[in-house]
Structure 1
Amino acid sequence: MYPVQELHEFLLEKAAQLTEEWYDSLDKSGPHGVYAATDSNAVELLKKQNYEFHLQFCQLFVQEESTFLSGFENWIIQIAKDEQHLSTPIHFIVREFFRTRDQYLHFIKEFVFSNKEKYSQEFIDLWNKKVINTIDKVVIWFMEEHHEFSVKRLQCQQEMINELSSPVITLNRHTGLLPLVGDIDTARAKLILEKTLKQCSEKRVDCLLIDLSGVIMIDTMVAQQLFHLVEALALIGVKTTLSGIRPEIAQTAVQLGLDFDQIIITSTLSRAIDSSKIG
Protein backbone atom coordinates (compact mmCIF):
# COMPACT_ATOMS: atom_id res chain seq x y z
CA MET A 1 0.00 0.00 0.00
CA TYR A 2 1.28 3.47 -0.86
CA PRO A 3 2.15 5.80 2.07
CA VAL A 4 -0.56 8.34 1.24
CA GLN A 5 -3.19 5.59 1.13
CA GLU A 6 -2.05 4.31 4.52
CA LEU A 7 -2.26 7.83 5.93
CA HIS A 8 -5.67 8.31 4.32
CA GLU A 9 -7.06 5.16 5.94
CA PHE A 10 -5.48 6.05 9.28
CA LEU A 11 -7.14 9.48 9.29
CA LEU A 12 -10.49 8.11 8.15
CA GLU A 13 -10.46 5.73 11.10
CA LYS A 14 -9.76 8.72 13.35
CA ALA A 15 -12.53 10.91 11.90
CA ALA A 16 -15.03 10.28 14.71
CA GLN A 17 -12.29 10.75 17.30
CA LEU A 18 -11.25 14.01 15.65
CA THR A 19 -14.80 15.29 15.96
CA GLU A 20 -15.27 14.29 19.58
CA GLU A 21 -11.89 15.66 20.67
CA TRP A 22 -12.57 18.86 18.77
CA TYR A 23 -15.96 19.37 20.40
CA ASP A 24 -14.69 18.48 23.89
CA SER A 25 -11.94 21.10 23.62
CA LEU A 26 -14.22 23.69 21.98
CA ASP A 27 -14.57 27.07 23.68
CA LYS A 28 -18.33 27.20 24.27
CA SER A 29 -18.28 30.33 26.43
CA GLY A 30 -19.23 32.76 23.65
CA PRO A 31 -22.51 34.64 24.20
CA HIS A 32 -23.98 33.53 20.88
CA GLY A 33 -23.25 31.64 17.70
CA VAL A 34 -23.06 28.03 16.61
CA TYR A 35 -20.40 27.06 19.19
CA ALA A 36 -22.46 28.32 22.13
CA ALA A 37 -25.42 26.05 21.33
CA THR A 38 -26.69 23.93 24.21
CA ASP A 39 -29.68 22.32 22.51
CA SER A 40 -28.90 18.63 21.94
CA ASN A 41 -30.12 18.69 18.35
CA ALA A 42 -27.96 21.72 17.56
CA VAL A 43 -24.93 20.09 19.16
CA GLU A 44 -25.45 16.88 17.18
CA LEU A 45 -25.80 18.87 13.96
CA LEU A 46 -22.57 20.73 14.71
CA LYS A 47 -20.76 17.43 15.31
CA LYS A 48 -22.23 15.97 12.13
CA GLN A 49 -20.99 18.96 10.13
CA ASN A 50 -17.53 18.59 11.64
CA TYR A 51 -17.46 14.83 10.99
CA GLU A 52 -18.46 15.38 7.35
CA PHE A 53 -15.59 17.84 7.08
CA HIS A 54 -13.14 15.12 8.10
CA LEU A 55 -14.59 12.57 5.70
CA GLN A 56 -14.07 15.06 2.90
CA PHE A 57 -10.75 16.47 4.06
CA CYS A 58 -9.12 13.04 4.29
CA GLN A 59 -9.55 12.75 0.52
CA LEU A 60 -6.82 15.36 0.24
CA PHE A 61 -4.18 12.62 0.36
CA VAL A 62 -5.60 10.39 -2.38
CA GLN A 63 -7.18 12.84 -4.84
CA GLU A 64 -5.90 15.45 -7.25
CA GLU A 65 -6.28 18.93 -5.82
CA SER A 66 -8.87 20.02 -8.40
CA THR A 67 -10.97 16.92 -7.73
CA PHE A 68 -10.62 17.36 -3.98
CA LEU A 69 -11.69 21.02 -4.04
CA SER A 70 -14.60 20.25 -6.35
CA GLY A 71 -15.84 17.62 -3.92
CA PHE A 72 -15.37 19.98 -0.99
CA GLU A 73 -17.48 22.74 -2.55
CA ASN A 74 -20.85 21.44 -1.36
CA TRP A 75 -19.68 21.23 2.28
CA ILE A 76 -18.27 24.76 2.22
CA ILE A 77 -21.40 26.29 0.71
CA GLN A 78 -23.73 24.41 3.06
CA ILE A 79 -21.82 25.60 6.13
CA ALA A 80 -21.29 29.13 4.81
CA LYS A 81 -25.04 29.67 4.35
CA ASP A 82 -26.03 27.83 7.54
CA GLU A 83 -28.05 30.23 9.69
CA GLN A 84 -26.17 29.37 12.89
CA HIS A 85 -22.79 29.90 11.24
CA LEU A 86 -23.98 33.19 9.72
CA SER A 87 -24.81 34.30 13.27
CA THR A 88 -21.32 33.39 14.49
CA PRO A 89 -18.46 35.95 14.41
CA ILE A 90 -16.23 34.97 11.52
CA HIS A 91 -13.05 35.02 13.63
CA PHE A 92 -14.54 32.28 15.83
CA ILE A 93 -15.06 30.09 12.76
CA VAL A 94 -11.56 30.78 11.42
CA ARG A 95 -10.17 29.87 14.83
CA GLU A 96 -11.81 26.44 14.59
CA PHE A 97 -10.38 25.82 11.13
CA PHE A 98 -6.92 26.44 12.52
CA ARG A 99 -7.56 24.24 15.56
CA THR A 100 -8.62 21.49 13.16
CA ARG A 101 -5.44 22.03 11.18
CA ASP A 102 -3.46 21.46 14.36
CA GLN A 103 -5.40 18.26 14.97
CA TYR A 104 -4.31 16.92 11.60
CA LEU A 105 -0.69 17.85 12.19
CA HIS A 106 -0.86 16.03 15.51
CA PHE A 107 -2.38 12.88 13.99
CA ILE A 108 0.16 12.85 11.16
CA LYS A 109 2.83 12.91 13.85
CA GLU A 110 1.07 10.03 15.63
CA PHE A 111 0.82 8.07 12.37
CA VAL A 112 4.51 8.49 11.71
CA PHE A 113 5.40 7.56 15.29
CA SER A 114 3.40 4.33 15.03
CA ASN A 115 5.36 3.45 11.88
CA LYS A 116 8.88 4.22 13.05
CA GLU A 117 11.56 4.43 10.40
CA LYS A 118 9.00 3.61 7.70
CA TYR A 119 8.56 7.14 6.43
CA SER A 120 11.25 9.69 5.73
CA GLN A 121 11.20 13.30 6.90
CA GLU A 122 10.50 14.22 3.30
CA PHE A 123 7.12 12.45 3.48
CA ILE A 124 6.30 14.10 6.80
CA ASP A 125 7.15 17.58 5.56
CA LEU A 126 5.13 17.02 2.40
CA TRP A 127 2.03 15.89 4.30
CA ASN A 128 2.27 18.73 6.81
CA LYS A 129 2.67 21.27 4.03
CA LYS A 130 -0.30 19.78 2.20
CA VAL A 131 -2.52 20.12 5.28
CA ILE A 132 -1.41 23.69 6.04
CA ASN A 133 -1.77 24.93 2.45
CA THR A 134 -5.14 23.27 1.96
CA ILE A 135 -6.58 24.60 5.21
CA ASP A 136 -5.45 28.08 4.15
CA LYS A 137 -7.28 27.70 0.82
CA VAL A 138 -10.39 26.31 2.51
CA VAL A 139 -10.46 29.19 5.02
CA ILE A 140 -10.23 31.83 2.30
CA TRP A 141 -12.85 30.05 0.21
CA PHE A 142 -15.15 29.71 3.20
CA MET A 143 -14.75 33.38 4.14
CA GLU A 144 -15.64 34.45 0.61
CA GLU A 145 -18.79 32.33 0.60
CA HIS A 146 -19.67 33.34 4.17
CA HIS A 147 -19.30 37.03 3.24
CA GLU A 148 -21.49 36.61 0.16
CA PHE A 149 -24.27 34.91 2.10
CA SER A 150 -23.93 37.47 4.95
CA VAL A 151 -24.38 40.33 2.49
CA LYS A 152 -27.43 38.66 0.94
CA ARG A 153 -28.85 38.07 4.42
CA LEU A 154 -28.35 41.71 5.38
CA GLN A 155 -29.92 42.86 2.11
CA CYS A 156 -32.98 40.70 2.74
CA GLN A 157 -33.24 42.02 6.30
CA GLN A 158 -32.89 45.61 5.09
CA GLU A 159 -35.54 45.06 2.42
CA MET A 160 -37.88 43.69 5.08
CA ILE A 161 -37.15 46.64 7.37
CA ASN A 162 -37.79 49.06 4.53
CA GLU A 163 -40.97 47.21 3.67
CA LEU A 164 -42.23 47.54 7.24
CA SER A 165 -40.84 51.01 7.94
CA SER A 166 -43.09 53.02 5.64
CA PRO A 167 -46.60 51.55 5.79
CA VAL A 168 -49.63 53.64 4.92
CA ILE A 169 -52.13 52.79 7.66
CA THR A 170 -55.78 53.26 6.74
CA LEU A 171 -57.61 55.31 9.41
CA ASN A 172 -60.95 55.46 7.67
CA ARG A 173 -62.32 55.08 4.16
CA HIS A 174 -60.26 57.85 2.57
CA THR A 175 -57.69 58.87 5.21
CA GLY A 176 -54.32 57.25 5.77
CA LEU A 177 -51.40 57.65 8.17
CA LEU A 178 -47.70 57.36 7.34
CA PRO A 179 -45.69 57.25 10.59
CA LEU A 180 -41.97 57.71 9.90
CA VAL A 181 -39.50 56.51 12.52
CA GLY A 182 -35.71 56.40 12.76
CA ASP A 183 -32.98 57.68 10.49
CA ILE A 184 -33.92 58.44 6.92
CA ASP A 185 -31.15 58.47 4.35
CA THR A 186 -31.51 59.36 0.68
CA ALA A 187 -32.08 55.75 -0.41
CA ARG A 188 -34.81 55.20 2.18
CA ALA A 189 -36.42 58.55 1.32
CA LYS A 190 -36.69 57.53 -2.34
CA LEU A 191 -38.18 54.20 -1.32
CA ILE A 192 -40.71 55.95 0.92
CA LEU A 193 -41.74 58.18 -1.98
CA GLU A 194 -42.27 55.24 -4.33
CA LYS A 195 -44.08 53.03 -1.82
CA THR A 196 -46.28 55.82 -0.44
CA LEU A 197 -47.54 56.86 -3.86
CA LYS A 198 -48.31 53.25 -4.73
CA GLN A 199 -50.06 52.51 -1.42
CA CYS A 200 -52.14 55.69 -1.50
CA SER A 201 -53.28 54.85 -5.02
CA GLU A 202 -54.09 51.23 -4.13
CA LYS A 203 -55.95 52.19 -0.92
CA ARG A 204 -57.76 55.14 -2.55
CA VAL A 205 -56.43 57.56 0.05
CA ASP A 206 -57.55 61.19 -0.38
CA CYS A 207 -55.91 62.57 2.78
CA LEU A 208 -52.57 61.40 4.14
CA LEU A 209 -51.19 62.30 7.56
CA ILE A 210 -47.38 62.11 7.62
CA ASP A 211 -46.05 62.05 11.16
CA LEU A 212 -42.36 62.96 11.60
CA SER A 213 -42.21 62.93 15.40
CA GLY A 214 -40.15 59.73 15.30
CA VAL A 215 -37.56 61.20 12.93
CA ILE A 216 -34.69 62.81 14.81
CA MET A 217 -32.64 64.25 11.97
CA ILE A 218 -32.68 64.41 8.19
CA ASP A 219 -30.21 65.99 5.81
CA THR A 220 -30.99 68.47 3.04
CA MET A 221 -31.33 65.78 0.35
CA VAL A 222 -33.83 63.83 2.45
CA ALA A 223 -35.81 66.97 3.27
CA GLN A 224 -36.12 67.66 -0.43
CA GLN A 225 -37.26 64.08 -1.05
CA LEU A 226 -39.98 64.40 1.58
CA PHE A 227 -41.28 67.60 0.04
CA HIS A 228 -41.14 65.97 -3.38
CA LEU A 229 -43.36 63.29 -1.84
CA VAL A 230 -45.88 65.94 -0.78
CA GLU A 231 -45.83 67.45 -4.29
CA ALA A 232 -46.19 64.04 -5.93
CA LEU A 233 -49.12 63.18 -3.65
CA ALA A 234 -50.82 66.42 -4.64
CA LEU A 235 -50.48 65.45 -8.31
CA ILE A 236 -52.46 62.25 -7.68
CA GLY A 237 -55.09 64.11 -5.67
CA VAL A 238 -53.91 63.34 -2.14
CA LYS A 239 -54.08 66.14 0.43
CA THR A 240 -51.17 65.99 2.90
CA THR A 241 -50.86 67.00 6.54
CA LEU A 242 -47.48 67.02 8.26
CA SER A 243 -47.22 66.60 12.01
CA GLY A 244 -44.46 66.33 14.61
CA ILE A 245 -41.82 68.31 12.71
CA ARG A 246 -38.84 68.82 14.99
CA PRO A 247 -37.09 72.21 15.12
CA GLU A 248 -33.98 70.81 13.43
CA ILE A 249 -36.02 69.54 10.49
CA ALA A 250 -37.97 72.80 10.26
CA GLN A 251 -34.70 74.74 10.17
CA THR A 252 -33.37 72.55 7.36
CA ALA A 253 -36.58 73.05 5.35
CA VAL A 254 -36.44 76.82 5.78
CA GLN A 255 -32.79 76.94 4.73
CA LEU A 256 -33.74 75.07 1.57
CA GLY A 257 -36.47 77.57 0.85
CA LEU A 258 -39.13 74.87 0.73
CA ASP A 259 -42.67 76.15 0.29
CA PHE A 260 -45.10 75.28 3.09
CA ASP A 261 -48.02 77.27 1.64
CA GLN A 262 -49.84 74.27 0.21
CA ILE A 263 -49.17 72.00 3.18
CA ILE A 264 -51.21 71.67 6.35
CA ILE A 265 -48.89 71.45 9.36
CA THR A 266 -49.77 70.55 12.96
CA SER A 267 -47.56 70.20 16.01
CA THR A 268 -48.79 66.73 16.96
CA LEU A 269 -50.39 63.73 15.33
CA SER A 270 -53.46 63.99 17.55
CA ARG A 271 -54.11 67.50 16.24
CA ALA A 272 -53.62 66.28 12.69
CA ILE A 273 -56.23 63.59 13.28
CA ASP A 274 -58.60 66.11 14.84
CA SER A 275 -58.14 68.52 11.95
CA SER A 276 -58.96 65.71 9.53
CA LYS A 277 -62.23 65.08 11.40
CA ILE A 278 -61.63 61.37 11.73
CA GLY A 279 -64.30 59.69 13.75
Structure 2
Amino acid sequence: MHRNMDLYKYLITKAEKLTDDWYKSIDQSTAVGVYASKDAKDINRLKSQNYSFHEHLIQVFLEDEHEFFKAFEVWLNEIVTDTGHQSTPTHIILQEFLNVQRQYLSMIESFERENEGTYTKEQIYSWNHIILKAFSRVMTRFVEVHDQLSLRRLKSQQELINDLSAPVIKLHQDVGLLPVVGEIDTQRAKYLLENTLMECTKKCITHLYVDLSGVNVIDTMVAMQIFQLIDALKIVGVKTTLSGVRPEIALTAVHLGLNFKDIHIAGNLSQALQMK
Protein backbone atom coordinates (compact mmCIF):
# COMPACT_ATOMS: atom_id res chain seq x y z
CA MET A 1 0.00 0.00 0.00
CA HIS A 2 2.97 2.30 0.56
CA ARG A 3 4.16 2.11 -3.06
CA ASN A 4 3.38 5.21 -5.06
CA MET A 5 5.07 6.45 -8.23
CA ASP A 6 3.86 10.04 -7.80
CA LEU A 7 5.36 10.28 -4.31
CA TYR A 8 8.57 8.72 -5.60
CA LYS A 9 8.84 11.30 -8.39
CA TYR A 10 8.07 14.11 -5.97
CA LEU A 11 10.80 13.04 -3.55
CA ILE A 12 13.44 12.35 -6.20
CA THR A 13 13.04 15.88 -7.55
CA LYS A 14 13.54 17.17 -4.00
CA ALA A 15 16.60 15.00 -3.26
CA GLU A 16 19.19 17.66 -4.06
CA LYS A 17 17.34 20.23 -1.96
CA LEU A 18 17.06 17.72 0.89
CA THR A 19 20.83 17.32 0.85
CA ASP A 20 21.50 21.07 0.73
CA ASP A 21 18.99 21.82 3.49
CA TRP A 22 20.36 19.01 5.63
CA TYR A 23 23.97 20.18 5.35
CA LYS A 24 22.98 23.79 6.08
CA SER A 25 21.17 22.61 9.22
CA ILE A 26 24.40 21.26 10.74
CA ASP A 27 25.59 23.59 13.48
CA GLN A 28 29.25 24.05 12.61
CA SER A 29 29.97 25.59 16.02
CA THR A 30 29.25 22.24 17.70
CA ALA A 31 29.81 19.79 14.82
CA VAL A 32 32.31 16.97 15.32
CA GLY A 33 33.92 14.30 13.18
CA VAL A 34 33.02 14.13 9.52
CA TYR A 35 30.42 16.90 9.93
CA ALA A 36 33.00 19.42 11.19
CA SER A 37 35.40 19.25 8.24
CA LYS A 38 36.04 22.50 6.37
CA ASP A 39 37.82 20.74 3.51
CA ALA A 40 35.91 21.15 0.24
CA LYS A 41 36.56 17.54 -0.82
CA ASP A 42 35.25 16.20 2.50
CA ILE A 43 32.15 18.38 2.28
CA ASN A 44 31.43 17.29 -1.30
CA ARG A 45 31.91 13.64 -0.35
CA LEU A 46 29.58 14.04 2.63
CA LYS A 47 26.92 15.67 0.45
CA SER A 48 27.36 12.99 -2.18
CA GLN A 49 26.87 10.27 0.44
CA ASN A 50 23.75 12.00 1.71
CA TYR A 51 22.34 12.38 -1.81
CA SER A 52 23.08 8.71 -2.46
CA PHE A 53 21.14 7.90 0.71
CA HIS A 54 18.11 9.69 -0.74
CA GLU A 55 18.43 7.83 -4.02
CA HIS A 56 18.35 4.54 -2.12
CA LEU A 57 15.70 5.44 0.43
CA ILE A 58 13.18 6.80 -2.06
CA GLN A 59 13.21 3.41 -3.76
CA VAL A 60 11.12 2.15 -0.85
CA PHE A 61 8.09 3.67 -2.60
CA LEU A 62 8.75 1.51 -5.68
CA GLU A 63 10.38 -1.73 -4.57
CA ASP A 64 9.54 -4.76 -2.50
CA GLU A 65 10.74 -4.28 1.10
CA HIS A 66 13.12 -7.25 0.96
CA GLU A 67 14.81 -6.02 -2.22
CA PHE A 68 14.90 -2.48 -0.87
CA PHE A 69 16.75 -3.38 2.34
CA LYS A 70 19.07 -5.74 0.47
CA ALA A 71 20.13 -2.94 -1.88
CA PHE A 72 20.71 -0.60 1.07
CA GLU A 73 23.55 -2.83 2.35
CA VAL A 74 25.86 -1.41 -0.32
CA TRP A 75 25.34 2.15 0.89
CA LEU A 76 25.67 1.12 4.54
CA ASN A 77 28.99 -0.63 3.98
CA GLU A 78 30.32 2.42 2.16
CA ILE A 79 29.42 4.69 5.07
CA VAL A 80 30.66 2.37 7.81
CA THR A 81 34.06 1.93 6.13
CA ASP A 82 34.40 5.62 5.33
CA THR A 83 37.30 7.06 7.36
CA GLY A 84 35.38 10.26 8.11
CA HIS A 85 32.44 8.37 9.62
CA GLN A 86 34.78 6.04 11.50
CA SER A 87 36.19 9.08 13.32
CA THR A 88 32.69 10.33 14.21
CA PRO A 89 30.89 9.20 17.41
CA THR A 90 28.09 6.77 16.59
CA HIS A 91 25.46 8.73 18.51
CA ILE A 92 26.24 11.82 16.39
CA ILE A 93 25.71 9.85 13.17
CA LEU A 94 22.43 8.43 14.50
CA GLN A 95 21.29 11.96 15.35
CA GLU A 96 21.83 12.96 11.72
CA PHE A 97 19.80 9.95 10.61
CA LEU A 98 16.96 11.26 12.77
CA ASN A 99 17.34 14.75 11.31
CA VAL A 100 16.95 13.34 7.80
CA GLN A 101 14.00 11.26 8.97
CA ARG A 102 12.25 14.46 10.06
CA GLN A 103 12.91 15.87 6.59
CA TYR A 104 11.07 12.96 5.01
CA LEU A 105 8.08 13.18 7.31
CA SER A 106 7.89 16.88 6.50
CA MET A 107 8.12 16.18 2.76
CA ILE A 108 5.30 13.66 2.93
CA GLU A 109 3.22 16.28 4.73
CA SER A 110 4.00 18.79 1.97
CA PHE A 111 3.11 16.24 -0.71
CA GLU A 112 -0.20 15.61 1.05
CA ARG A 113 -1.02 19.34 1.14
CA GLU A 114 -0.18 19.80 -2.54
CA ASN A 115 -2.45 16.87 -3.40
CA GLU A 116 -5.17 17.50 -0.86
CA GLY A 117 -8.09 15.09 -1.21
CA THR A 118 -6.23 12.81 -3.66
CA TYR A 119 -5.01 10.22 -1.18
CA THR A 120 -6.70 8.50 1.74
CA LYS A 121 -5.54 8.76 5.35
CA GLU A 122 -4.63 5.08 5.19
CA GLN A 123 -2.24 5.73 2.27
CA ILE A 124 -0.62 8.68 4.02
CA TYR A 125 -0.28 6.62 7.20
CA SER A 126 1.38 3.82 5.23
CA TRP A 127 3.95 6.27 3.79
CA ASN A 128 4.84 7.62 7.21
CA HIS A 129 4.95 4.11 8.61
CA ILE A 130 7.31 2.81 5.91
CA ILE A 131 9.63 5.80 6.38
CA LEU A 132 9.83 5.20 10.13
CA LYS A 133 10.34 1.50 9.54
CA ALA A 134 13.04 2.10 6.92
CA PHE A 135 14.98 4.49 9.14
CA SER A 136 14.68 2.13 12.10
CA ARG A 137 16.02 -0.79 10.07
CA VAL A 138 18.78 1.22 8.45
CA MET A 139 19.94 2.76 11.73
CA THR A 140 19.90 -0.60 13.51
CA ARG A 141 21.82 -2.23 10.69
CA PHE A 142 24.31 0.65 10.64
CA VAL A 143 25.10 0.08 14.32
CA GLU A 144 25.43 -3.68 13.75
CA VAL A 145 27.86 -3.31 10.84
CA HIS A 146 29.74 -0.52 12.63
CA ASP A 147 30.17 -2.69 15.75
CA GLN A 148 31.29 -5.70 13.71
CA LEU A 149 33.93 -3.60 12.00
CA SER A 150 35.03 -2.09 15.32
CA LEU A 151 35.36 -5.54 16.90
CA ARG A 152 37.45 -6.81 13.98
CA ARG A 153 39.66 -3.74 14.21
CA LEU A 154 39.97 -4.12 17.99
CA LYS A 155 40.87 -7.79 17.64
CA SER A 156 43.51 -6.97 15.04
CA GLN A 157 44.97 -4.26 17.28
CA GLN A 158 44.98 -6.60 20.26
CA GLU A 159 46.82 -9.25 18.26
CA LEU A 160 49.40 -6.66 17.25
CA ILE A 161 49.77 -5.53 20.87
CA ASN A 162 50.23 -9.14 21.97
CA ASP A 163 52.87 -9.70 19.30
CA LEU A 164 54.74 -6.57 20.34
CA SER A 165 54.40 -7.31 24.05
CA ALA A 166 55.70 -10.89 23.84
CA PRO A 167 58.49 -10.86 21.26
CA VAL A 168 60.98 -13.69 21.14
CA ILE A 169 64.17 -11.98 19.95
CA LYS A 170 66.86 -14.15 18.44
CA LEU A 171 70.21 -12.98 19.82
CA HIS A 172 72.55 -15.34 17.98
CA GLN A 173 72.48 -18.88 16.64
CA ASP A 174 70.13 -20.82 18.93
CA VAL A 175 69.87 -18.24 21.74
CA GLY A 176 66.84 -16.00 22.24
CA LEU A 177 65.44 -13.37 24.58
CA LEU A 178 61.89 -12.86 25.83
CA PRO A 179 61.59 -9.44 27.52
CA VAL A 180 58.28 -9.33 29.39
CA VAL A 181 57.09 -5.77 29.99
CA GLY A 182 53.98 -4.27 31.57
CA GLU A 183 50.96 -5.72 33.26
CA ILE A 184 50.28 -9.41 32.73
CA ASP A 185 46.75 -10.68 33.08
CA THR A 186 45.55 -14.24 32.61
CA GLN A 187 44.73 -13.74 28.93
CA ARG A 188 48.13 -12.26 28.13
CA ALA A 189 49.90 -14.99 30.13
CA LYS A 190 48.08 -17.62 28.06
CA TYR A 191 49.14 -15.87 24.86
CA LEU A 192 52.71 -15.62 26.21
CA LEU A 193 52.82 -19.37 26.73
CA GLU A 194 51.46 -20.28 23.31
CA ASN A 195 53.39 -17.66 21.33
CA THR A 196 56.73 -18.33 23.06
CA LEU A 197 56.60 -22.06 22.40
CA MET A 198 55.72 -21.46 18.77
CA GLU A 199 58.42 -18.80 18.24
CA CYS A 200 61.15 -20.86 19.90
CA THR A 201 60.34 -23.81 17.66
CA LYS A 202 60.10 -21.60 14.59
CA LYS A 203 63.45 -19.87 15.29
CA CYS A 204 65.22 -23.08 16.43
CA ILE A 205 66.02 -21.59 19.85
CA THR A 206 67.43 -23.96 22.48
CA HIS A 207 68.28 -21.38 25.16
CA LEU A 208 65.84 -18.64 26.05
CA TYR A 209 66.45 -15.76 28.45
CA VAL A 210 63.18 -14.68 30.08
CA ASP A 211 63.50 -11.24 31.65
CA LEU A 212 60.78 -10.10 34.08
CA SER A 213 62.38 -6.82 35.19
CA GLY A 214 59.66 -4.89 33.33
CA VAL A 215 56.85 -6.59 35.26
CA ASN A 216 55.73 -4.78 38.41
CA VAL A 217 52.72 -6.78 39.52
CA ILE A 218 51.87 -10.42 39.06
CA ASP A 219 49.01 -12.43 40.53
CA THR A 220 48.89 -16.06 41.60
CA MET A 221 47.41 -17.39 38.38
CA VAL A 222 49.90 -15.55 36.17
CA ALA A 223 52.87 -16.68 38.30
CA MET A 224 51.77 -20.27 37.83
CA GLN A 225 51.47 -19.79 34.07
CA ILE A 226 54.96 -18.32 33.83
CA PHE A 227 56.36 -21.39 35.57
CA GLN A 228 54.22 -23.54 33.30
CA LEU A 229 55.91 -21.77 30.39
CA ILE A 230 59.31 -22.70 31.77
CA ASP A 231 58.22 -26.33 32.20
CA ALA A 232 56.75 -26.42 28.68
CA LEU A 233 59.96 -24.98 27.21
CA LYS A 234 61.93 -27.69 29.01
CA ILE A 235 59.75 -30.35 27.43
CA VAL A 236 60.45 -29.05 23.91
CA GLY A 237 64.18 -28.91 24.62
CA VAL A 238 64.60 -25.23 25.43
CA LYS A 239 66.82 -24.28 28.38
CA THR A 240 65.53 -21.26 30.31
CA THR A 241 67.34 -18.57 32.26
CA LEU A 242 65.10 -16.34 34.36
CA SER A 243 66.16 -12.80 35.23
CA GLY A 244 64.71 -9.65 36.81
CA VAL A 245 62.50 -11.49 39.30
CA ARG A 246 61.21 -8.87 41.74
CA PRO A 247 60.88 -9.74 45.46
CA GLU A 248 57.07 -9.70 45.36
CA ILE A 249 57.07 -12.09 42.41
CA ALA A 250 59.52 -14.37 44.22
CA LEU A 251 57.31 -14.35 47.34
CA THR A 252 54.25 -15.23 45.27
CA ALA A 253 56.12 -18.15 43.71
CA VAL A 254 57.33 -19.40 47.11
CA HIS A 255 53.85 -19.18 48.61
CA LEU A 256 52.56 -21.22 45.71
CA GLY A 257 55.21 -23.84 46.37
CA LEU A 258 56.61 -23.50 42.86
CA ASN A 259 59.83 -25.40 42.36
CA PHE A 260 62.89 -23.33 41.37
CA LYS A 261 65.00 -26.46 41.02
CA ASP A 262 66.80 -26.72 37.67
CA ILE A 263 65.81 -23.13 36.79
CA HIS A 264 68.75 -20.85 36.05
CA ILE A 265 68.11 -17.52 37.77
CA ALA A 266 70.01 -14.22 37.54
CA GLY A 267 69.44 -10.92 39.29
CA ASN A 268 69.22 -8.98 36.03
CA LEU A 269 69.51 -9.49 32.31
CA SER A 270 73.14 -8.37 32.18
CA GLN A 271 74.11 -11.07 34.68
CA ALA A 272 71.98 -13.64 32.87
CA LEU A 273 73.72 -13.02 29.56
CA GLN A 274 77.10 -13.56 31.23
CA MET A 275 76.08 -16.94 32.61
CA LYS A 276 77.39 -19.96 30.79
Normalising by the residue count of structure 1, what TM-score does the alignment of the two structures yield?
0.86
Q: Give the equivalent residue in structure 2 for 1:222.
A: 222
Partner of 1:237: 237
CA displacement at 1:195 relative to structure 2:
1.8
Cα distance in 1, alignment partners of residues 3 and 205 from structure 2: 78
Tell whether the 8 Å contact from 2:165 to 2:180 is kept in structure 1 after alignment: yes
| Gap runs ≥5 in structure 2 | none
Displacement, 1:96?
1.5
Aligned-pair distance for 1:52? Answer: 1.2
The structural deviation recorded for 1:135 is: 0.8
Alignment gaps of 5+ in structure 1? none
Task: Report the Cα offset of residue 116 of structure 1.
Answer: 4.2
| Partner residue, 2:250 | 250
Alpha-carbon RMSD across the aligned residues, in angstroms, is 2.6
CA distance in 1, matches of 2:262, 2:30: 57
Q: Is the CA contact (8 Å cut-off) linking 2:179 and 2:212 kept in structure 1?
A: yes
SS at match of 1:241: strand
Alpha-carbon offset, residue 119 of structure 1: 4.1
Deviations 1:84-124, CA, capped at 9 Å, x for gaps: 43443221221121111011112222333334444454443
Structure 2 distance, partners of 1:32, 1:252, is 49
| Corresponding residue of 1:212 | 212
Matched, 1:259 2:248: no
1:88 is paired with a residue whose SS is: coil
1:129 equivalent in structure 2: 129
Indicate the larger mover: 101-110 or 17-26. 17-26
C-alpha distance after superposition, 1:39-77 (max 9, x if no partner) = 443333332222211100001112221221122122223
- Distance verdict in 2 for CA 1:32–1:112, change over 3 Å: closer
Count of aligned pairs between the two proteins: 275
> What's 2:47 paired with?
47
Partner of 1:63: 63
Percentage identity across aligned positions?
47
- Written as runs of structure 1 = structure 2, the 5 A alignment for 1:102-141 is 102-141=102-141
Alignment of structure 1 residues 181-200 onto 2, 5 Å: 181-200=181-200
Q: Deviations over 1:191-232 (max 9, x none)?
A: 222221222233232322212222232332221111111112
Distance in structure 2 (CA, Å) of the matches to 1:99 and 1:201:
58
Residue identity in the other structure for 1:253: A
Q: SS of 1:158's equivalent?
A: helix
Q: Which amino acid aligns with 1:254?
A: V
**Equivalent residue of 1:184, what SS?**
coil
Q: Which amino acid aligns with 1:160?
A: L
Counterpart residue number, 2:94: 94
Larger deviation, residues 225-234 vs 166-175: 166-175
In the alignment, the residues of structure 2 paired with residue 123 and residue 35 of structure 1 have an alpha-carbon distance, to the nearest angstrom, of 35
